[in-house]
Amino acid sequence: MKKIKTQSDFFDKVFEVVAEIPIGKVTTYGAIAEACGIRSSARTVGWALNSAKNSYLPCHRVVNRFGALTGKIHFGNPQLMQDLLQGEGVKFDSEGNVILADHLWLPAKRNRFSKTKNL
């Protein structure tokens, strides 16, 4: 089986991971990229979501490493992203960032990120 590492391969993984994010939980781009096997392509993860934002994928549950809703801009309604998360029980701090300490969810892969999470 020739495994051609092309578009769908990476995107598909991102979609699967994002689709498995439980309610009231959030994950990070790096975590997804890590789960995909390429932590360096965290940027591309954002693009995957950009293409998936029109899909059923809960892109609003994907935040950056700081818990900031960096992708809210692409939602059309920046407030919608935070509203959705709050509606799921996600809490935000004074800076408007998701409290990863209580809502960070790592894809079934490596929990190595926990180390970097503790800022």
Partner DNA sequence: TGACTGACCAACA
Partner DNA sequence: CTGTTGGCCAGTC
Sites for DNA among residues 40-79 (CB under 7 A): 40-47, 49-53, 59, 62, 64-66, 70-71, 73-74
**Which residue has 């509203």 as its token pair?**
83
> Which residue in the block uniquely carries the two structure tokens 């995957």?
48
Residue 84's Cβ-count burial label (10 Å; 0-12, 13-18, 19+) is middle
**Site for DNA contains 83 (CB under 7 A):** no
Whole-angstrom Cα distance, residue 47 to residue 29? Answer: 10
Q: Is 33 helix (H, G, I), strand (E, B) or coil?
A: helix
The CB-of-72 to DNA minimum distance in angstroms stands at 8
15 part of the interface to DNA, by CB under 7 A: no
Among 11, 25, 35, 90, binds DNA (CB under 7 A): 11
**Binding residues for DNA, per CB under 7 A?**
5-11, 28-30, 33, 38-47, 49-53, 59, 62, 64-66, 70-71, 73-74, 113, 116
